[in-house]
Amino acid sequence: MPTPDGPAGSIPGTLPSDVTTDDIGLLASGEVSFYSSYPYSAVGKIFFQQGGGSFSCSGAVIKSNEIWTAGHCVHAGNGKPNGWSTNMVLVPQYRDGSAPCGQWNIDNLVAPNAWVNGGDNDQDFAKGRVSNPNTGCTGMLGFAFNQSYSQNFLAVGYPGNIGGGQRMIFCSNPLKRTLSGNPSPYSIDCPMTQGSSGGPYIINNSSLNGNVSFGIPSVFPNEVFSPYFGNEAKGLYDFSF
């Protein structure tokens, strides 16, 4: 099994003002029961335009004015200046068109050069700056890096194949496999597909430790892969807009 590329670390999250939590407990999957309960409260659906088309992804609140998502949600990975997404909005706790915490405008984006210039799945992560956040409603996920691959991961997102992209879906499962890479992407059993990209992989019911990136359904059906959060991911987390 691959090894972390540095000392493990974690940054604590922040509960929403109206403090409620939902401890996962048993391994399971399906629609989230209480969208306003932490850590689900910090997850939302992202709407954006890229390359002339309209798309959706998923994301999570990580700082008072920042959100985290997949690299391919913010840039086409083709090295072109016009590859960046535009008109990007996060709707935390979105459900059937509702926006209980408002619609957050994302006014600046950043992703690793390895993704922007080459579409490197090992670094398929990104973050955005929000101009009108409401973290009292959502709280913020913590951030964990250089952790063991042997974790139980809670993946959360808005897949089009389950609930039509209108419902927040979760999968809570242990590590399934790793692939070759630097660092190595990894998967869990989870049937989510398009639309869940960028949704968080959460450990310890509080810390972001990966994000939905890609699947290989012809080889590994019903598995979702995440990039590993090592030093590169921590560097992006630390980046100041």
Handedness of CA 137, 87, 141, 150 (dihedral sign): positive
Which pLDDT score, from 0 to 100, does residue 27 have? 54
For the chain, the distance separating the N- and C-terminal CA atoms, rounded to the nearest angstrom, is 35
Match 């004015």 to its residue by tokens: 65
Segments in the chain below pLDDT 50: 26
Q: Which of 27, 118, 31, 35 is nearest to 71 (CA)?
A: 118
Domain chopping of the chain, boundaries = 9-40+141-230, 42-139
Helix ranges, 22-161 (H): 71-74, 113-118, 135-138
Report the amino acid identity of residue 233: A
Write out pLDDT tens, residues 44-70. Answer: 999 999 999 999 999 999 999 999 999
Which pLDDT score, from 0 to 100, does residue 19 have? 66
Domains 9-40+141-230 and 42-139 share a fold: yes
Which pLDDT score, from 0 to 100, does residue 3 have? 74
Residues 175 and 73: beta-carbon distance below 8 Å: no
Which pLDDT score, from 0 to 100, does residue 23 have? 59
Q: Which of 201, 207, 181 is nearest to 189 (CA)?
A: 201
Among 3.40.50.10810, 2.130.10.10, 2.40.10.10, 2.40.30.200, what is the CATH number of 9-40+141-230?
2.40.10.10
Which pLDDT score, from 0 to 100, does residue 12 have? 92
According to CATH, the topology of domain 42-139 is Thrombin, subunit H (2.40.10)
Residues 53 and 45: beta-carbon distance below 8 Å: no
Strand-strand pairing, 207-211 and 28-31: unpaired
Helix ranges, 45-179 (H): 71-74, 113-118, 135-138
Strand-strand pairing, 142-145 and 207-211: parallel
Which pLDDT score, from 0 to 100, does residue 210 have? 98
Which pLDDT score, from 0 to 100, does residue 2 have? 78
